[in-house]
Structure 1
Amino acid sequence: MIARDMKQATLTEPKNIRFSDEQVPDSLGTMDVLIHVRRIGICGSDIHAYNGKHPFTPLPVVQGHEYSGEVVAVGSQVTTVKVGDRVTGRPQQVCGTCGPCKAGRYNVCANLKVEGFQAPGVAQDYFVLPEDRTYVIPGTVSFDEIALLEPAAVAAHATSMVHNIGEKTVVVAGAGPIGNLIAQFAKIRGAKRVVVSDFNPFRLQLLEKLGIMDTINLSEESFQQGISRILGDEPFQVGIEAVGVEPALHNLVDHVEKGGQVLIVGVYEEHPRLNMGFVGEHELTVQGSMMYKHQDYVQAIEWLVSGDLQLAPLITQRFPFDAYNEAYQFIAENPAKTLKVLIDVN
């Protein structure tokens, strides 16, 4: 039986999540799915929002956009989802009528709203999803792993933008959850070589446990020294910025092979400066990568189920729902031993 009331977590102002009791949705549209939320992941964008520094998040907003849950009810015309299914959802609300949407690029919809940022998120006991944004995951996959499919889809999308990846060396700036997943996806897609740089040895060691051995510890050597040590005189053709800080962007742009590609995945709290004369003279492609599309979720699920993609090792801590604020505080105070933090909702 579904309870009438549910708890909800709202970011009301920077560094303050307020808890409230709300009513569970009492009716579903014909194409809607009601899920009982189980896990919520905290990501870098959530941290920016929590600190009041996310450039596209007005407050207040209900938290949560990467999650897992169990289906407890479906609308009368839902055919692909049933009660009891383990699911996650794509948190993009799109208009379907703008130029990008008509071109199939709804991930950059002119009127895009992302749940947890510009629209209410899933930080509550129950959440309503439309069927076409719901993904059913085989029962052998844990709720923990399902909650990480959203960042995995980010990595799937970014690496899909690298053409002929098997002929290219990919360098990833940042070994956080997104950088880790991008490195995993680049390796799965057959990149010639994958290199990851970061200041955090704990995060770099996890990558090595996952079979990505070419790492640069920026607390011990410069980016250029690390690239020379690993690649020698061989250049790299693709740089993927996954941390959202200006020096990381400069490292990639300044060292990628002429005619190379630099993809921007990280979220910047401040606008970075970039030497566009250098970009022009080297004919670099500097390109943004925005979230994901349906096929990126499908690909992430496929490789998770097959065992090629490893998500469980990224989980380092978990907190109960009523300790949401404490989870953020822990992340801020313990960056050296934190990668992915989960909130146990139910």
Structure 2
Amino acid sequence: MRQAVMEAPGKIRFEEVAATPPGPGEVRIRVRRIGICGSDIHVWHGTHPFTPYPVIQGHEFMGVVEAIGPGVTGAPPLGAQVTALPQIVCGKCNPCRKGRFNICENLKVRGFQADGCGRELYNVPAERLVVLPDGFTADQGAFVEPVSVAVHACRRAGDLAGRNVVVLGAGTIGNLIAQVARASGAARVLIADVADHRLDVAKRCGVDHAVNTARQPLDEAAAIAFGAEGFDLAFEAAGAEGSLAAAVSTIEKGGQVLIVGVYGRPPVVDMSVVGEHEIVLAGSMMYWREDWEAAVQLLSSSVTIAPLVSRHVPFAEWPEAYRFIDANGPATMKVMVDL
């Protein structure tokens, strides 16, 4: 089988290796589609702080079951479409014992601290599989992982029914958070970014309001979108200090700001405003299995992904995908690798 090994930043080697039979408790998947996310790009650039080299990338994927290892019970049938959670957890630390495996003290993620799905055949523990509907496209299957990020973030915020919501950052995750918030009953959603292309994609995905904060301040846009009601929930999905500051200064007193973005350096936050206004700052990290199951349902019903897919590249041209992303910047959303 072929696999793609990132030997060092900016260097991917394709190699032919013997396929390994699935071990006890494992299922072998023939990979069909892989999505590239922002963290993958950091690995390509050598700026991901927790990824050693060499590494086989890939954690957003869809494939079909090809073989079942010994001791597996209740596995999907051969040929079934599946994806799989990429977390490797210890099961022993305090968060794990409390059922919060997404924040395991010893968490490893396939594609980063462990080898991922960037290969033709991929063995994963059967317990990590998520079965996809028969009618799912390969792109939908690869989108289950990022949609799960959005689902988990929205669930962290509690009941969204009737609430006005601001999403800062209109990249793939911000876009999906906005869509999931709408599907979860939010009254109105305003998405903000400094890239017109991303805002146009958000509108094509059905997001209510969009603002380019390079041209209009967030408080003015919120007043237009929500009127005197304002908003009491914001998702910071840009990983930008300015976006976080705008959320804290604009949200109503007692509001909640969920941090989903990844920051290149620690942001400065006006904690005097946070304290005096009783603003709740909370983080959101990855997902739980139930988030994946909800993501599958949302992709089957209300989450639109077609406008998010910027390009498909063959597996053998994976480096070209990164060069395309670097060359096109904010005009690129999701690039898919086809096997």
TM-score by length of 2: 0.96
- Whichever residue aligns with residue 181 of structure 2, its letter is A
Q: In structure 1, which of residues 43, 59, 83 is the aligned counterpart of residue 37 of structure 2?
A: 43
Deviation string 1:243-276 (CA, Å, 9 cap, x unpaired) is 2121111111121111111111111122222222
Tell me the CA shift for residue 336 of structure 1: 4.1
- Whichever residue aligns with residue 123 of structure 2, its letter is V
1:94 is the counterpart of 2:89: yes
* Runs of at least 5 residues in structure 2 that lack an aligned partner in the other structure: none
The 5 A counterparts of 1:62-73 are: 62-73=56-67
Tell me the CA shift for residue 235 of structure 1: 1.8
1:247 is the counterpart of 2:207: no
Q: In structure 2, which of residues 13, 16, 40 is the aligned counterpart of residue 18 of structure 1?
A: 13
SS of equivalent residue, structure 1 residue 12: strand
Kept in 2, the 8 Å contact 1:175–1:197? The answer is: yes
1:147 is the counterpart of 2:147: no
1:287 is the counterpart of 2:282: yes
Deviation string 1:212-262 (CA, Å, 9 cap, x unpaired) is 121112233222222222223322111101121211111111211111111
- Whichever residue aligns with residue 152 of structure 1, its letter is V
* Runs of at least 5 residues in structure 1 that lack an aligned partner in the other structure: 1-5
Q: In structure 1, which of residues 223, 232, 243 is the aligned counterpart of residue 227 of structure 2?
A: 232
- Whichever residue aligns with residue 235 of structure 1, its letter is G
1:55 is the counterpart of 2:55: no
Q: In structure 1, which of residues 34, 40, 51 is the aligned counterpart of residue 28 of structure 2?
A: 34
Q: In structure 2, which of residues 109, 120, 125 is the aligned counterpart of residue 125 of structure 1?
A: 120
- Whichever residue aligns with residue 328 of structure 2, its letter is N
Superposition CA RMSD, Å: 1.4
TM-score by length of 1: 0.94
Cα distance between partner residues in 2 of 1:54 and 1:269: 10
Kept in 1, the 8 Å contact 2:218–2:250? The answer is: no
SS of equivalent residue, structure 2 residue 161: helix
Cα distance between partner residues in 2 of 1:60 and 1:247: 35
Q: In structure 2, which of residues 248, 252, 258 is the aligned counterpart of residue 257 of structure 1?
A: 252
Tell me the CA shift for residue 172 of structure 1: 0.4
Cα distance between partner residues in 1 of 2:84 and 2:200: 31
Kept in 1, the 8 Å contact 2:205–2:305? The answer is: no
Cα distance between partner residues in 1 of 2:271 and 2:44: 32
Cα distance between partner residues in 1 of 2:217 and 2:53: 39
2:272 is aligned to: 277
Deviates more, 1:294-303 or 1:166-175: 166-175
Q: In structure 1, which of residues 88, 96, 103 is the aligned counterpart of residue 98 of structure 2?
A: 103
SS of equivalent residue, structure 2 residue 228: coil
Cα distance between partner residues in 2 of 1:342 and 1:174: 21
Tell me the CA shift for residue 112 of structure 1: 0.4
1:3 is aligned to: none
1:178 is the counterpart of 2:168: no
- Whichever residue aligns with residue 263 of structure 2, its letter is Y
Deviation string 1:188-220 (CA, Å, 9 cap, x unpaired) is 000121110011222212221222121112233
Instruction: Give the percent of matched residue pairs that are identical in Structure 1 and Structure 2.
Output: 44
The 5 A counterparts of 1:159-238 are: 159-238=154-233
Cα distance between partner residues in 1 of 2:243 and 2:193: 9
Query: How has the CA–CA distance of structure 1 residues 290 and 336 changed in structure 2, closer, same or farther, with 3 Å as cutoff?
Result: closer
Tell me the CA shift for residue 138 of structure 1: 1.3
Aligned residues: 338
Cα distance between partner residues in 1 of 2:121 and 2:75: 20
SS of equivalent residue, structure 1 residue 243: coil
SS of equivalent residue, structure 1 residue 61: coil
- Whichever residue aligns with residue 233 of structure 2, its letter is V
Kept in 1, the 8 Å contact 2:223–2:230? The answer is: no
1:114 is the counterpart of 2:133: no
Kept in 2, the 8 Å contact 1:81–1:131? The answer is: no
Deviation string 1:294-339 (CA, Å, 9 cap, x unpaired) is 000000111222x212223321101111211111111111124311
Kept in 2, the 8 Å contact 1:54–1:269? The answer is: no
Kept in 2, the 8 Å contact 1:195–1:215? The answer is: yes
SS of equivalent residue, structure 1 residue 23: coil
Cα distance between partner residues in 2 of 1:84 and 1:274: 50
Cα distance between partner residues in 2 of 1:320 and 1:28: 26
SS of equivalent residue, structure 1 residue 207: helix
Cα distance between partner residues in 2 of 1:262 and 1:172: 10
2:304 is aligned to: 310
- Whichever residue aligns with residue 220 of structure 1, its letter is R
Kept in 2, the 8 Å contact 1:48–1:269? The answer is: no
Deviates more, 1:52-61 or 1:131-140: 52-61
1:82 is the counterpart of 2:77: yes
Cα distance between partner residues in 1 of 2:77 and 2:23: 15
Cα distance between partner residues in 2 of 1:195 and 1:106: 31
Deviation string 1:157-200 (CA, Å, 9 cap, x unpaired) is 00011122114211001111101110010000001211100112
Cα distance between partner residues in 2 of 1:330 and 1:32: 35
